[in-house]
Amino acid sequence: MDSFVEKCQGFVEYLQIEKNASPYTIQYYQDDLNAFHQFLQAEGIHHLKEVNQQVVRLFLTQLYDQKLSRRSVSRKISSLRSFYKFIEREDETYTNPFVHIHLPKAEHPVPGFLYKQELEKLFDVNDLTESLGQRDQAILEVLYGTGIRVSECQSLRLSDIDFTVGTLFVRGKGRKERYVPFGRFAEIALETYLNEGRADLQEKAIDSTDIVFLNARGRPLTTRGIRLILNKMVDKAALTVHVHPHKLRHTFATHMLNEGADLRTVQELLGHESLSSTQIYTHITKDHLRDVYMKSHPRANDFRENR
């Protein structure tokens, strides 16, 4: 096929250099392009210029026959649309057969979150006289107090914490960087851990590290390690809900919006590139506003009850 591999390589270099895409994002693009390449070979299509909307619809039919989710199909269409857009830019003789193909409407389940009473139980389970307890409390306070991702928490370095202004320097998805403020509870938990618990843990390791959160052997914690720590907290608190780092992120966003924060601010704090990614939390806050209204307005319930 007309140097499909060569064009893919050029596209990957474009993603790396111009778009500064992460290795994970690039791998997703490559997987989608490989799937399309295999489809074209199976259909006996040997030239990219032979791909028209009829060919694209046949490709989509095969994807749906594979029982792929709408989200997976949508991603593949988006990947291939970007690929052809890149080819068009490099060679004007090509037209983008994916440009008029509509993305299937994705499902947006409302993210789960924790109520304040459930959070209080979690905050009370750690033994703050022990190094690991101080570490676990700091992790919990940082995840809930800032809304950062578990990968961002795991990669925090000592130099990323500025106690003077109360901010964390966070390296997010797609190598995007941002500053995130933290409050008094997170500050106290971090200072206690850094001044006491972390120093004890660091002594157990042969090599020093500037990673903030360490395991019991004094080495940098992994994201899996952080998830296990949260699971242990849940067990100690005897909670019946499943708690994972992303649920704390959901909880942060939900509580911020419920208390009156505007959507743009929450978007910046979460590091979302698009506002639509943040808008999913408005479903929760609408329910919250309705509950408050039904409980508070003098003519909300009586009217319904007396109809």
Task: Give catalytic residues, as residue numbers.
Answer: 149, 173, 246, 249, 272, 281
CA pair distance 214, 217, nearest whole angstrom = 8
Tokens of 41: 């070979």
Residue 168 phi/psi, 5-degree rounding, is -110, 140
In 10 A of CB 265, how many CB atoms?
12
* Chain centre distance of CA 212: 21
Reduced to 3 states (helix: H, G, I; strand: E, B; else coil), residue 90 is: helix
Tokens of 106: 């994705």
CA pair distance 119, 165, nearest whole angstrom = 26
* Chain centre distance of CA 110: 15
CA pair distance 258, 218, nearest whole angstrom = 39
Closest CA to 189 of 281, 123, 255, 237: 123
CA pair distance 244, 157, nearest whole angstrom = 22
